[in-house]
Amino acid sequence: MTAYTAPLQDMRFALAEFAGLADLATLPGFEDASPELVDAVLEEAAKLTGKVIAPLNQVGDQHPSILENGVVRTPDGFREAYARYRDDGWNSMPFSPDHGGQGLPWSVAMAVMEQIHAANMSFGLCPTLNVAAVEAIEAHGTEDQKALYLPKLISGEWTGTMNLTEPQAGSDVGAIRAKAVPNGDGSYRITGQKIYITYGEHDLADNIIHLVLARLPDAPEGTKGISLFVVPKFIPDAHGAPGQRNDLRCVSLEHKLGIHASPTAVMAYGDNEGAQAWLVGEENRGMACMFTMMNNARLAVGLQGVAIGERAYQQARDYALARVQSRAVTRPGDGAVAIIHHPDVRRMLMAMRSQVEAGRALTYYAVGALDRSKRHPDEAERQRASALVDLLTPMVKAWCTDMGVEVASLGIQVHGGMGFIEETGAAQHYRDARIAPIYEGTNGIQANDLVFRKVLRDDGAAAKALIAEMAAPLDGPPAIDRIAHRLRASLDDLRAATDWLLSTDKDSPAIAASASTPYLNLFAITVGGWLMARAAAASANGANSDFAETKRTTALFFADQVMPQTAALLPAIIEGAESVMALKAEQF
């Protein structure tokens, strides 16, 4: 497996052009986010990820976390790497200074998190889940809960988890059976089992704070009867230090296709009297609290698709530059050349590069809107930014993670037979990437979310606003005109698909649901193409550097090779629902 080098130049470009870093630095609380500070942050992060975290990626794949006598031991080097990550303050970047955070924009924190996931996705999952726990407690916890848990979660001294899934309740969260019984003193006792709990048990931190969905005795059926509870592994004492061990344990660790170093735990609550817990938010309002955790987590998972794609691209590029095989079709009289000279290898590398850059642009654009939704002083602007984040989140999560799998698969193909051999490390990227379209809501659920909650619910208002923004003319040299022409064609496809969706029979939701995945892909490709067109136009303004030239060329490839897919997706949306649902279940 080759080394990882953070693509700092492209990250800076994406932060400037798509997240709008200069504008973010004018928002209340973000004044310290100067270009100089952000550059320094990214460069220091690159040292940590390249020299400390990335070398552990293959180590963790080959020597996974293990469960021994109730204790989960992470691979060699992980504890030291996490201690370095924690002690250097990386965990606290985007959180409120009121509880020990640095108050930097989420956009900057996400750029650092991209580096961490690209370096070692298994390692990065621990702080990612911690973010979700912090956000839930910050948004819904009592003042006492905030004072007790947030400083240590934000510092990284303690880590947090999300406990949603049960053996009989996967994506159908309303089917959970875990029970919470009041103690009469404001606390509760929880019993039940949870599965797929990322970093549910580990040896990296002094305490693990579990956020657990469970039902009260008189709770209504379904999702309306779910409450959220904070359940610490060690119950904090009067001084906030880890105290008595709670009645919870890791039963086993899952044996997975990838992300082997990340311990995915089966957790049992209440083997004895029940795990002591405290309500977060209101009774039976756990779903609302859960979505506070999940919305940003979905952006983070989309970022994992970008990150793993970047890592796979770097390895495939380096291999193509070094691997000598066959004569070049352009120079048949010469001897064997590095395979990067073969057109089909070039095609694959350009497909990888262009889609990773489009995914990065889409993600950073969404996270920039997230920062505005939280900090812009004008209420109307906050609402507009919030609507944009809501619209983009399922696209970031689904399209970027599908893209990460495709790019990792192409990386194996560039390696040829050596890609299928584990020692090169190319296969690990594919195996690690494959989970991202599944967790935090499968990509089919993301597509349904986009169609039903983000487009149909507001009669297409947010979608139409973004389409109108993307239709603004682009100025530039002939290459920009060609990209703009492709963009206009994709926008026409998106308008037609959106108009059709809005005209579908509201009494036949299966029609819209059958079209949801191709609709999400059409929308995401169009937004990605628009952002790539903006990148090309920005790099054409008097810049003749290698970076500017590669930006324009990469955008042109995306326009020529990826954006025409929208024309094929349109009939799949408008005409495909009938064949999707035509067979009876017993005919499969």
Query: What is the predicted pLDDT for the residue at 567?
Result: 98
Asked if residue 36 belongs to a domain, the reply is no
Q: Is residue 276 within 8 Å of 244, Cβ to Cβ?
A: no
Alpha-carbon distance 97 to 32, whole Å?
13
Q: Determine, yes or no, domain membership for 543.
A: yes
Q: How far apart are CA 217 and CA 250, in angstroms?
A: 25
**Residue with tokens 């990792």, as numbered in its chain:** 408
Q: Is 64 left (phi over 0), alpha (psi -120 to 50) or beta?
A: beta
- The string of pLDDT tens digits covering residues 269-282 is 999 999 999 999 99
The answer to whether residue 488 sits within a structural domain is yes
Which residues sit opposite 166 in a β-bridge?
169
Residue 448 lies in a domain: yes
- Annotated catalytic residue: which of 17, 310, 406, 440? 440
Mean pLDDT of the chain: 95
Mean pLDDT of 381-400: 97
- Helices 478-503 and 461-470 pack at an angle, to 10 degrees, of 160
Spatial CB neighbours of 73, under 8 Å, sequence gap ≥ 6: 65, 66, 203
Helix (H, G, I), strand (E, B), or coil: what is residue 177? coil
Please give the Cα distance from 112 to 472 (Å, whole number). 32
The tokens of 72 are what?
Answer: 């989960």
- Cβ-in-10-Å burial (0-12, 13-18, 19+) of 239 comes to exposed
440 catalytic? Reply is yes
Give 239-268 pLDDT, tens digit per residue: 889 999 999 999 999 999 999 999 999 999
- Looking at the DSSP bridge assignments, the partners of residue 181 are 189
Distance from C-alpha of 267 to C-alpha of 576, rounded to nearest angstrom:
42
32 vs 333: which has the higher pLDDT: 32
Report if residue 343 sits inside a domain.
Answer: no
Confidence of residue 378 (pLDDT cuts 50, 70, 90): very high
Can you give the pLDDT at residue 172?
A: 80
- 227 neighbors 181 (Cβ within 8 angstroms): no
In a domain, 325, yes or no: no
Residue-number span of the structural domain to which 552 is assigned? 443-581
Distance, in Å, from the CA atom of 297 to the CA atom of 263, rounded to the nearest integer, reads 18
Q: What would the mean pLDDT of 197-226 be, rounded to a whole number?
A: 96
Q: In three state form, how does the secondary structure of 95-110 look?
A: CCHHHCCCCCCHHHHH
| 56 and 62 Cβ atoms separated by less than 8 Å | no
- Residues belonging to the chain: 588
Instruction: Dihedral sign for Cα 322, 327, 328, 333, please.
Output: positive
Burial of 234 (0-12, 13-18, 19+ CB in 10 A): middle
For residue range 544-568, what is the model confidence (pLDDT) as tens digits? 689 999 999 999 999 999 999 999 9
Contacts of 2 (CB under 8 A, 6+ apart): 314, 315, 318, 319, 425
Asked if 401 and 439 touch (Cβ cutoff 8 Å), the reply is: no
Tokens of 29: 């609380």
d(C-alpha 506, C-alpha 316), whole Å? 47
3-state secondary structure of 73: strand
291 or 435, which is more confident? 435
Question: CA-to-CA distance for 339 and 328, rounded, in angstroms?
Answer: 8
Q: What is the pLDDT of residue 543?
A: 58
Question: DSSP states of 383-443 as a string?
Answer: HHHHHHHHHHHHHHHHHHHHHHHHHHHHHHHHHGGGGGSGGGSHHHHHHHHTTTTTSSS-H
The per-residue pLDDT for range 351-366, each reduced to its tens digit, is 999 999 999 999 999 9
Sign of CA dihedral 317, 319, 322, 325: negative
Q: Global pTM?
A: 0.96
- Quote the pLDDT of residue 451: 97
Please state, in angstroms and rounded to a whole number, the distance separating the CA atoms of residues 57 and 75: 10
Give yes or no for residue 92 having a pLDDT over 80.
Answer: yes
Contact 526, 483 (CB under 8 A): no
In a domain? residue 586: no
Whether residue 393 is predicted with pLDDT greater than 60 in this model: the reply is yes
Q: Give the strand pairing for 227-232 and 234-236.
A: unpaired
Note the pLDDT of residue 388. Answer: 98
93-114: average pLDDT: 97
Position with higher pLDDT, 454 vs 508: 454
pLDDT, tens digit, 9 for 90 and up, residues 298-343: 999 999 999 999 999 999 999 999 999 999 898 888 899 999 999 9
Backbone angles phi, psi at 105, to 5 degrees: -60, 150
Region 383-412 average pLDDT = 98
HEC profile of 283-325:
CCCHHHHHHHHHHHHHHHHHHHHHHHHHHHHHHHHHHHHHCEC
Give the mean model confidence (pLDDT) for residues 95-115.
97
How many domains are there within the chain? 1
Which two three-digit tokens encode residue 264? 């995915």
More confident site: 333 or 437: 437
pLDDT digits (tens, 9 = 90+) for 451-477: 999 999 999 999 999 999 999 988 777
- What token pair was written down for 142? 């009592």
Q: Is residue 49 part of a domain?
A: no
Is residue 91 pLDDT above 60, yes or no?
yes
Q: Strands 207-214 and 158-163, how do they pair?
A: parallel
Tokens, residue 91: 């965990």
Structural contact between residues 197 and 267, judged by C-beta atoms closer than 8 angstroms: yes
At 542 the pLDDT is 55
Work out the pLDDT band at 290, boundaries 50, 70, 90. Answer: confident
3 state DSSP class of 273: coil
Q: Which residue has the tokens 């039963």?
A: 251
Q: Could you tell me the pLDDT band of residue 540, with boundaries at 50, 70 and 90?
A: confident
Can you tell me the distance from the alpha carbon of 266 to that of 245, in angstroms, rounded to the nearest whole number? 18
| C-alpha–C-alpha distance, residues 463 and 494, integer Å | 10
